[in-house]
């Protein structure tokens, strides 16, 4: 379970990115974060992995405060959370296999386990046959699948996606959403920031609408239209 | 750290060096040069100290006694001189010997004693050595106080110059060594910073997937140590064989200049360089990575 208690985030330059946000997300939930550009969606996701501290308020994950957490514990927190980005962030000089293995190696996984887990997760996201390719030999949709594979290979309990379909055409976006939905069905909590109205409307999941750093709507089985324009 | 982690770390360190081959080579080379200068300076200091102490042992004070002091009293003075602080050794030169020495200098053709009317005008004297050049002046002052002593002479300026030369060589040497250490640290920091920069994205991803700071730091740490070590080994090899050749050359061509031909010392200096290079490499990389590890 993820809980925000009166969380305010003011950046050093004075921008108020989150303004007194309180929200609770159950284990295994699928949540869309929507809202206009600059609403604070990315800030919300970054606070979850302790990339910076909130100015005020408390954040709990599985009953444990991540604000009071010592910096030594941050790596352990991040191992419980997978993160995917709009721009994929793959290492261009490594193959698909190496990019995914990288996430396991970085946390000291034994070689035998790496060899077992990587092909499994690549098959799961549907690019098992591309393991020897380099990122620039793949389509955008395929690259995002590699990024997803890297994010979930450690079996995180939470998957955060910041506009994962932002660089993809509708067809590829749909494929990626199928994969993310699949991951959710296996019990992983999903938090996804997006501008993709079609996806949000089609999936009928919980929708949290942010505007100017405040939660202005929170609907179970919601739609995209936040009626702010 | 688990064995598997160490394995990845080692692989990453070598991969990083391989990928930035020319960069790594350039910094090994520059480290080697600065450590070479450092080692050479060290040897120069050691040799100049040796030269100075060699020369120090040759500085003498001549003590001339009054003409009316008889031989017994003159010889008795030796006991008192030997008690003075800074005293090392002495030689008594009776007036007859002094005259004979002078006769030798004029040549056997001249009858020096005859020319002087059969009287030896020279006094008895002592030639005294101090323990070191910086003790000469004080010792001379004490010697002047004896009533039997008429005058003393020693190369005061020469002694002062020797003392200040020793101090200068020591200070300049220290400054050069310190400068080279700082230069080496700076070079390694710059190199590692460049490789860190080239791997910024990797570091970012590693942080996202929950790698510990030490895991992220370690390959750079190893890389820095390796660069420092290789540079030091190169410098050590050049110094070892270069100095060996220099010793041989000096012994053949300028045997009167004392060189330190001590291979034990040379080994120790080369060992020190290798240790120093490795430590500098490790320190430089820690400094370089620090900035990028801030969450
Ligand atoms: N590192 C930062 N330093 C200063 N201000 C920042 C920083 N990151 C974000 N902001 C500001 O905070 C506000 C919220 O930004 P955030 O990135 O969370 O918005 P967003 O909802 O993700 O927008 P978008 O839909 O465009 O991605 C914006 O006004 C932004 O300019
Ligand atoms: Mg954003």
What confidence tens digit (pLDDT) does each residue in B132-156 have? 777 888 888 888 888 988 988 887 7
Q: Whose CA is nearest to atom 24 of ligand 1?
A: A37
Distance CA A124, CA A139 (A): 18
Q: Nearest Cβ partner of B211 from A77, A107, A110?
A: A107
CA nearest to B2 within chain A: A108
Closest ligand 1 atom number to CA of residue A13 = 4
Q: What DSSP state is assigned to residue A192?
A: E
Distance CA B156, CA B136 (A): 8
Ligand nearest to the CA of A34: 1
Partner-chain contact B4 A49, CB within 8 Å: no
Distance CA B194, CA B23 (A): 9
Partner-chain contact A78 B202, CB within 8 Å: no
Partner-chain contact B209 A91, CB within 8 Å: no
Distance CA B158, CA B144 (A): 19
Q: How far is CA B207 from CA A79, B143, B224, in A?
A: 10, 77, 21
Q: Is the pLDDT of residue B1 over 60?
A: no
Distance CA B215, CA B219 (A): 8
The pLDDT score that the predictor gives to residue A146 is 97
* pLDDT grade for B14, boundaries at 50, 70 and 90: confident
For residues B24 and A94, which has the higher predicted lDDT (pLDDT)? A94
Distance CA B198, CA B58 (A): 61
Q: Is the pLDDT of residue A173 over 90?
A: yes
Q: Is the pLDDT of residue B169 over 70?
A: yes
Partner-chain contact B205 A79, CB within 8 Å: no
* pTM assigned to the model: 0.72
Residue with tokens 């002094």: B98
Any idea of the CA torsion for A138, A142, A147, A153, to the nearest 10 degrees?
Answer: -120
- Give the CA radius of gyration of chain A: 17
- In A35-186, where do the E strands start and end? 56-61, 64-65, 81-85, 158-162
Residues near A137 by Cβ (< 8 Å), separated by ≥ 6? none
Longest dimension (CA), chain B: 107
User: Is A52 at the interface with chain B, CB within 8 A?
Assistant: yes
Partner-chain contact A91 B1, CB within 8 Å: no
Q: What is the mean pLDDT of chain A?
A: 94
The pLDDT score that the predictor gives to residue A225 is 80
- Per-residue pLDDT tens over the stretch B210-268: 888 888 888 888 888 998 999 999 999 999 999 888 888 888 887 777 777 778 888 89
Q: How far is CA A73 from CA A2, A5, A67, A175, in A?
A: 17, 21, 11, 35
CA nearest to B203 within chain A: A106
Distance A200 CA to ligand 2 centre (A): 16
Partner-chain contact A110 B2, CB within 8 Å: yes
Characterize the bridge pairing of strands A189-193 and A30-34.
Answer: parallel
B258 burial (CB, 10 Å; 0-12 / 13-18 / 19+) is: middle
CA A177 distance to own-chain centroid: 12
The pLDDT score that the predictor gives to residue A158 is 97
Distance CA A72, CA A82 (A): 19
B142 burial (CB, 10 Å; 0-12 / 13-18 / 19+) is: middle
Q: Whose CA is nearest to atom 12 of ligand 1?
A: A17
CA nearest to B16 within chain A: A93
Least Cα separation, residue B201 to chain A (angstroms): 8
Residue percentage of chain B with pLDDT more than 70: 97
Ligand 1 pocket, CB under 6 A: A 11, 13, 15, 17, 35, 37-43
Both structure tokens of B291: 């900035």
Distance A54 CA to ligand 1 centre (A): 14
Residues near A119 by Cβ (< 8 Å), separated by ≥ 6? A128, A131
User: Is A154 at the interface with chain B, CB within 8 A?
Assistant: yes
Distance CA A125, CA B22 (A): 39
Q: In this predicted structure, which of A203-207, B15-19, B34-38 has the lowest mean pLDDT?
A: B15-19
Q: In this predicted structure, which of A20-24, B184-188, B232-236 has the lowest mean pLDDT?
A: B184-188
- In chain A, where do the E strands start and end? 2-10, 16-25, 30-34, 56-61, 64-65, 81-85, 158-162, 189-193, 206-211, 214-219
Residues near B62 by Cβ (< 8 Å), separated by ≥ 6? B125, B126, B127, B128, B152, B153, B154
Using an 8 Å Cβ cutoff, are A159 and A191 in contact?
yes
User: Is B205 at the interface with chain A, CB within 8 A?
Assistant: yes
- In A109-188, where do the E strands start and end? 158-162
CA nearest to A160 within chain B: B208
Q: What DSSP state is assigned to residue A195?
A: -
User: 3-state DSSP call for residue B84?
Assistant: coil
Least Cα separation, residue B211 to chain A (angstroms): 5
User: Is B18 at the interface with chain A, CB within 8 A?
Assistant: no
Burial annotation B58-67 (CB, 10 A radius, 16+ → b, else e): ebbbebbbee
CB-CB neighbors (< 8 A) of B15 in chain A: none
Helices and strands counted in chain B (H then E)? 10, 4
Closest ligand 1 atom number to CA of residue A163 = 27
Partner-chain contact A52 B295, CB within 8 Å: yes
| Closest listed residue to residue A46, CA positions, set B140, B204, B76 | B204
Using an 8 Å Cβ cutoff, are A58 and A6 in contact?
yes
Partner-chain contact A154 B210, CB within 8 Å: yes
- Per-residue pLDDT tens over the stretch B86-114: 888 888 989 888 888 888 877 777 777 77
Distance A15 CA to ligand 1 centre (A): 8
Region of A16 (left: φ > 0; alpha: ψ -120 to 50; beta: rest) is: beta
Mutation pick from A45, A93, A107 vs chain B, by most beta carbons of B within 10 Å, is: A107
Q: Nearest Cβ partner of B205 from A74, A89, A107?
A: A89
Q: Is the pLDDT of residue A16 over 90?
A: yes
Q: What is the mean pLDDT of residues A87-105?
A: 92
Region of B229 (left: φ > 0; alpha: ψ -120 to 50; beta: rest) is: alpha
Angle at B160 between CA B156 and CA B163, to 5 degrees: 140
Beta bridge partners of B152: B63
Distance A227 CA to ligand 1 centre (A): 21
CA nearest to B202 within chain A: A91
Characterize the bridge pairing of strands B60-65 and B125-130.
Answer: antiparallel
User: Is B209 at the interface with chain A, CB within 8 A?
Assistant: yes
Using an 8 Å Cβ cutoff, are A36 and B195 in contact?
no
The pLDDT score that the predictor gives to residue A175 is 93
Q: How far is CA B39 from CA A38, B25, B236, in A?
A: 59, 21, 8
Distance A51 CA to ligand 1 centre (A): 13
Both structure tokens of B10: 């080692």
């Amino acid at each position: 379970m993820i809980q925000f208690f009166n969380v305010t985030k003011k950046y050093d330059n004075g921008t108020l990115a989150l303004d007194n946000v309180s929200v609770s997300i159950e284990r295994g939930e699928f949540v869309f974060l929507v809202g206009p550009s600059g609403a604070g969606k990315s800030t919300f996701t970054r606070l979850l992995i302790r990339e910076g501290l909130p100015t005020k308020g408390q954040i709990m994950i599985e009953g444990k405060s991540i604000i009071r957490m010592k910096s030594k514990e941050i790596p352990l927190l991040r191992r419980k959370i997978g993160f995917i980005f709009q721009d994929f962030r793959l290492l261009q000089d490594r193959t698909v296999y190496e990019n995914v293995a990288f996430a396991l190696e970085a946390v000291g996984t034994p070689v035998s386990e790496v060899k077992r887990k990587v092909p499994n997760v690549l098959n799961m996201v549907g690019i098992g046959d591309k393991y020897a390719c380099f990122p620039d030999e793949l389509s955008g949709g395929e690259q995002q699948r590699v990024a997803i594979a890297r994010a979930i290979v450690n079996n995180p309990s939470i998957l955060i996606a910041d506009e994962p379909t932002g660089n993809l055409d509708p067809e590829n976006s749909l494929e990626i959403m199928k994969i993310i939905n699949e991951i959710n069905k296996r019990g992983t909590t999903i938090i996804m920031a997006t501008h993709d109205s079609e996806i949000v409307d089609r999936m009928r999941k919980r929708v949290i609408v942010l505007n100017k750093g405040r939660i202005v709507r929170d609907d179970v089985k919601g739609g995209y239209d936040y009626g702010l324009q | 750290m688990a064995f598997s982690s160490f394995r990845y770390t080692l692989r990453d360190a070598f991969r990083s060096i391989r990928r930035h081959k020319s960069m790594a080579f350039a910094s090994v080379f520059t480290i080697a040069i600065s450590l070479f200068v450092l080692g050479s300076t060290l040897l120069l200091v050691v040799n100049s100290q040796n030269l100075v102490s060699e020369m120090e042992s040759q500085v003498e004070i001549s003590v001339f006694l009054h003409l009316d002091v008889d031989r017994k009293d003159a010889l008795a003075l030796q006991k008192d001189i030997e008690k003075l602080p800074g005293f090392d050794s002495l030689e008594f030169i009776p007036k007859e010997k002094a005259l004979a020495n002078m006769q030798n200098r004029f040549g056997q053709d001249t009858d020096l004693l005859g020319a002087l009317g059969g009287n030896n005008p020279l006094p008895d004297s002592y030639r005294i050595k101090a323990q070191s050049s910086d003790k000469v002046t004080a010792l001379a002052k004490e010697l002047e106080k004896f009533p039997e002593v008429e005058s003393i002479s020693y190369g005061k300026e020469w002694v002062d110059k020797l003392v200040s030369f020793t101090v200068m060589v020591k200070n300049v040497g220290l400054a050069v060594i310190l400068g080279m250490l700082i230069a080496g640290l700076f070079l390694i920091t710059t190199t590692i910073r460049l490789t860190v920069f080239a791997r910024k994205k990797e570091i970012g991803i590693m942080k996202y997937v929950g790698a510990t700071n030490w895991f992220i730091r370690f390959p750079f740490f190893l890389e820095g140590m390796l660069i420092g070590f290789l540079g030091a080994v190169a410098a050590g090899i050049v110094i070892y064989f270069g100095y060996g050749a220099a010793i041989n050359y000096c012994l053949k061509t300028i045997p009167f200049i004392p060189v330190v031909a001590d291979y034990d010392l040379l080994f120790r200096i080369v060992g020190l360089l290798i240790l120093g290079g490795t430590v500098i490499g490790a320190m430089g990389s820690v400094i370089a990575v620090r900035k990028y590890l801030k969450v």
